[in-house]
Structure formats: C-alpha cells, structure tokens
Amino acid sequence: MTMQAWMAEGPRWPSRTLRAAVAAIPMLLVACDGVGDGRSASPSPDAPSAPLEPPAPVENRARALVETSLRLDLAAQRGEAVVSIAASQQPGVSFDVGALEIHSVTSALGTLRFRQQDGQLDIGLPSSDGPLDIVIDYRFAAQDDFNGWMPEPGVSFLWPDFCGNLFPCRDEPAAGQRYRLTVSGVPEGNTAVYPQRIPAAAPAYMPAVALGDYRVLSLGTTRDGTEVKLWHLPGEAEHAVDGTQYLAQSMDFFEQTYGPYAFGDVVGSVSVRWGPGRFGGMEHHPFWHVASEAMGSPEIHAHEAAHGWFGNGVRMACWEDFALSEGTASYLAARALDQQGIDLWPEYECRLQRVCTDERVNTVARPSDCNAIRLRDHPLWSDVPYMKGAQFLRQVAERVGANAVDDALARFYRERFGTEARMQDLVDHLRAAFPSESLGIEALAQGWLYQRACPSVPDRVCR
Ligand SMILES: [Zn+2]
C-alpha cells in the first residue's frame, strides 16, 4: 500500500493530530508489505487501528484564517470558499456563517464533519503543524437590508458584521486575512467590479462586489505607481468626475505622507445604488464604494481612500475602537484636501457641533471594554467617533504641528500595518512621539475620547 492508496481509500481518520497520522504511515507500509523483522506487526500506540471516524466538530475561534479564495456565483447564489487555516495545536476551526446553507466541508484528508448553530460553523479539523486548506461549499441567501448580497441594487454590503451572510468568515474587526475573489453569474449588460486579489491582511467587511452598467475612467497614477480609477453609472458622469477631481492627488498624498499602499496597484471609487437618502461610502479597498448620491463629494472619496491606511491597513482591535478607523480617516481626508485648497474643517465643525449639542447622538467616542457592544445597533455607530476623533488629532496638531502629527501617524502605520490596534495605542504613540506635550495629549484624549461632554463646542453658525 502506498500513501496515495491510503489517501484514495478514503480518509482513515487520525485519532490525534495530523503529525501523529503522518508518523504512523511508514508502519502501515511495513505491515501491509509483510516485510520487517519477521514478527507480526503490532500497532503502535500512535497508529490508527481501524478506519476511524473523522474528528467531531470542535469550536475554535482562536485558530487564524490566513487566506480565503472565494468563488461566488451570483445567479445561483452559490459559493465556494477555499480557506487556508493556520497551524494550531488545538483542533477544530470555527466561522461566522450567518444565514449560509453549508453543503459540504472537505480537505485533502477527505470529508470533514461540521455543525452549524446560532450563526457559527464549527468544523472537525485536526490540529496541525502547518497550514491546512479546507473547501466549504455553500449557498447564500439574497438580502435586502444592507446585510449581505443585495441583488436588487447589485451590491454587497457586509459592514459591520454581516460577512457571514456572504461567505464563511470571522466577523470581528481585528481578524485579518488575505482574499482572492472570482465572481460569475453576472447578468447580461452588467460589469462586476471586484478585486481578484486582496494581497494584504484585511478585515472581513472589506471584500465587496458591485454590479452595474459601469463606465470606467482613469483619474491618474500616483508617484508610487498606483493607478486611480472611477467607476460611474450612466447619467452621473458630470458629478462623479467633479467629485473625484482630487482623488488621485489625495492617494498620492497618503502614500507619500503615511507610507506605501498595500491593497493593490489599481484603486478607485465605485458608484453604488444604495438608494435615496443614503449618503456616504464604504471602505472596500481597493475598489471602495460610494453612494451614487455622494459621488459629487470630494470628502467622501478622500475619506474612503484614507481607510486604506486606518481601518483596513491598521485594523480596529475592538468595535469600541471605531474612532481609530473613522476619526483618523476623517482627519486624513482633511489633510489631503487641505493640500489642494479644500478646507473641510468648517463642515467638520458643524458636524461636531451637532454631535456635542444633540443629546440623542452624543456618546463617549471610545467606550471601555472590547467587543462588548454590537456596533450594528449601538449608538456608537454615529458621527461621534468621526468628528471627536478628528478633532482630537486636529488639537494635537495645533500643539505640535500638523506635519509632525503626519510623521507620527506614518510611524504608527509602519509599526502596526497588517495588525489591529486600539485607539489608546495611538494616544500612547502620540504621547511618546511628543514627550514635552504628553500630558496635554492625554488631556485631549480624555476630553475628546473618554468622556461624553465635549471639552469645547465649535462656535459657528451652521445650517
Ligand atoms: Zn469611514
């Protein structure tokens, strides 16, 4: 019997770890060939004695996911996820699977056992000393409430924790992995805009697909060689071109100021039909989405681009660190547009004024704890982390200089890229970068991030 034959017979499941199974194989060869020392081969303690059952499903959310290759058939609503699972001394692996209908889970070892309950998929995967690939075949349901694949507008929306309605994932913001994407079942006359590859670790809300009758324009190439594009829908060319006129320069500013961009060498804004009254964007790098109604807003385009550095490049450790993503992206957008003669601060001050004076909106920007809240229905999902976070950085810049803050943010990005960080990590980093202003920076953090009342309210006449 050869190893191939052993594999071809179907899985004889190792009782302990893969390492133990592989170690047992030479002994099985000896026993089958009838050669050896003349005595009958008796099974060693490590050898599988009979065809064993595949291991039972075990919960293991700590086992990292390295890369997911997704094939999505949008017409059939079928998906195949090939997931590279990290080595682990603990067996099992778990995913968030929302409303997915799981058909099968297989690996090179054969069919794997799984159980699905309360939106979680637990798989009976042995422990291993190296990465293991598994294949999950499944069906995903159509959604209509910004919680998965929405066929009617032709757009996916996974923020904040709906990834499990489209593919097996880990929905916490700190969990990063690489992605590959293939999309089929695209209706006649439509283009599917999606990245074939996300080459650096990204949170699970980042991969996205948009369908539409897209026209694509090149907006220019940065000095680092990143091509910046615009995908717009019919009838919106004028305001889309108008809104993106600063985007290539903004990308160039981010790259030159904060560090290299990591999610591809072609990027851009994709107009999506979120529907009336939904203004904004979503940081689906490298092809971030911007609501059709917001395509004329230079701020939204710059803000979504900035998430390539904060939110995606450096991920949030906890949902409570929303300000690390949104406050910093808002601040970076203001910095990039300021270089091009656009002052976002009057508008930001009005937004901050609203946050500070509306009792129904105002909250602490960085609540204590980690992942104790569910952001999708928590009051923190508001303008508070955006505007208080940006104001905190602006007031640090008033003390030490905006260029010095840029340098400190660049070092933070370099040090924390590809990992998660807390807002307090950034505060500590700034205090260490400016020792003579450390106490002042701590006071600003207390005022803008950790207490509800605003330390000051912008004195400005706002609409
Ligand atoms: Zn944002």
Sequence-ordered list of residues with C-beta below 8 angstroms from that of 341, at least 6 positions apart, any chain: none
Check pLDDT > 90 for residue 123. Answer: yes
Q: For residue 39, tell me if it sits in a domain.
A: yes
Lowest-confidence range among 24-28, 196-200, 458-462? Answer: 24-28
Structure tokens at 433: 């970068």
Tell me how far apart the alpha carbons of residues 30 and 301 are, in angstroms, rounded to a whole number: 66
| pLDDT at position 28 | 33
Give me ligand 1 centre to Cα 282, in Å. Answer: 7
Residues 7 and 119 in one domain: no
Q: For residue 209, tell me if it sits in a domain.
A: no
Residues 1 and 60 in one domain: no
Give me ligand 1 centre to Cα 30, in Å. Answer: 62
Give me ligand 1 centre to Cα 368, in Å. Answer: 21
CA angle 379, 382, 384 (to 5 degrees): 105
Give me ligand 1 centre to Cα 398, in Å. Answer: 23
Q: For residue 194, tell me if it sits in a domain.
A: no
The sign one gets for the Cα dihedral 355, 357, 363, 365 is positive
Residue pLDDT, tens place only, 283-301 = 999 999 999 999 999 999 9
Give me ligand 1 centre to Cα 323, in Å. Answer: 9
Give me ligand 1 centre to Cα 235, in Å. Answer: 26
Tell me how far apart the alpha carbons of residues 224 and 265 are, in angstroms, rounded to a whole number: 9
418 near 402, Cβ under 8 Å? no
The residue among 288, 308, 328 that closes a domain is 308
245 near 297, Cβ under 8 Å? no
Residues 80 and 171 in one domain: yes
| Mean pLDDT within 50-65 | 88
Give me ligand 1 centre to Cα 431, in Å. Answer: 25
Instruction: Give residues whose Cβ lies within 5 Å of ion ligand 1.
Output: 326, 329
Give me ligand 1 centre to Cα 71, in Å. Answer: 27
Residues 369 and 426 in one domain: yes
Check pLDDT > 60 for residue 457. Answer: yes
Residue pLDDT, tens place only, 142-184 = 999 999 999 999 999 999 999 999 999 999 999 999 999 999 9
Residues 45 and 77 in one domain: no
Structure tokens at 362: 């105002």
Give me ligand 1 centre to Cα 156, in Å. Answer: 17
Residues 331 and 444 in one domain: yes
Lowest-confidence range among 9-13, 216-220, 448-452? Answer: 9-13
Check pLDDT > 50 for residue 248. Answer: yes
320 near 293, Cβ under 8 Å? no
Check pLDDT > 80 for residue 455. Answer: yes
Sequence-ordered list of residues with C-beta below 8 angstroms from that of 455, at least 6 positions apart, any chain: 444, 447, 448
Residues 35 and 64 in one domain: no
Q: For residue 202, tell me if it sits in a domain.
A: no
For residue 219, which of 234, 230, 206 has the smallest C-alpha distance? 230
Tell me how far apart the alpha carbons of residues 459 and 463 are, in angstroms, rounded to a whole number: 13
**Most confident range, picked from 28-32, 41-45, 228-232:** 228-232
Give me ligand 1 centre to Cα 374, in Å. Answer: 17
Q: For residue 335, tell me if it sits in a domain.
A: yes
Tell me how far apart the alpha carbons of residues 287 and 361 are, in angstroms, rounded to a whole number: 31
Residues 178 and 85 in one domain: yes
The residue among 293, 308, 323 that closes a domain is 308
Residues 229 and 344 in one domain: no
Check pLDDT > 60 for residue 91. Answer: yes
- Give 463's pLDDT tier (boundaries 50, 70, 90): confident
Q: For residue 205, tell me if it sits in a domain.
A: no
Residues 48 and 100 in one domain: no
Tell me how far apart the alpha carbons of residues 387 and 372 are, in angstroms, rounded to a whole number: 22
Give me ligand 1 centre to Cα 155, in Å. Answer: 18
Give me ligand 1 centre to Cα 385, in Å. Answer: 10
Give me ligand 1 centre to Cα 47, in Å. Answer: 54
- Give 376's pLDDT tier (boundaries 50, 70, 90): very high
How many domains does the chain contain in total?
A: 4
Q: For residue 456, tell me if it sits in a domain.
A: no
Give me ligand 1 centre to Cα 303, in Å. Answer: 6
Q: For residue 239, tell me if it sits in a domain.
A: yes
Give me ligand 1 centre to Cα 339, in Å. Answer: 20
pTM here? 0.90
Higher pLDDT, 273 or 7: 273
CATH number of the domain that 113 lies in? 2.60.40.1730
For residue 454, which of 382, 388, 360, 381 has the smallest C-alpha distance? 388
Domain ranges, residue 236: 214-308
Q: Which H, E and C letters describe the chain, residue by residue?
A: CCHHHHHHCCCCCCCCCHHHHHHHHHHHHHHHHCCCCCCCCCCCCCCCCCCCCCCCCECCCCCCEEEEEEEEECCCCEEEEEEEECCECCCCEEEECCCCEEEEEEECCEECCEEEECCEEEECCCCECCCEEEEEEEECCCCCCCCEEECCCCEEECCCCCHHHCCCECCCCCCCEEEEEEEECCCCCCEEECCCEEEEEECCCCCCCEEECCEEEEEEECCCCCEEEEEECCCCHHHHHHHCCCHHHHHHHHHHHHCCCCCCCEEEEEEECCCCCCCCEECCCCEEEEEHHHCCCHHHHHHHHHCCCEECCEEECCHHHHHHHHHHHHHHHHHHHHCCCCCCHHHHHHHHHHHHHCCCCCCCCCCCCCCCCCHHHCCCCCCHHHHHHHHHHHHHHHHHCHHHHHHHHHHHHHHHCCCEECHHHHHHHHHHHCHHHHHHHHHHHHHHHHCCCCCCCCCCCCC
Give me ligand 1 centre to Cα 333, in Å. Answer: 10
| pLDDT at position 109 | 87
| pLDDT at position 286 | 98
Give me ligand 1 centre to Cα 172, in Å. Answer: 17
Residues 8 and 79 in one domain: no
CATH number of the domain that 411 lies in? 1.10.390.10
Residues 219 and 263 in one domain: yes
The residue among 170, 185, 200 that closes a domain is 185
Check pLDDT > 50 for residue 92. Answer: yes
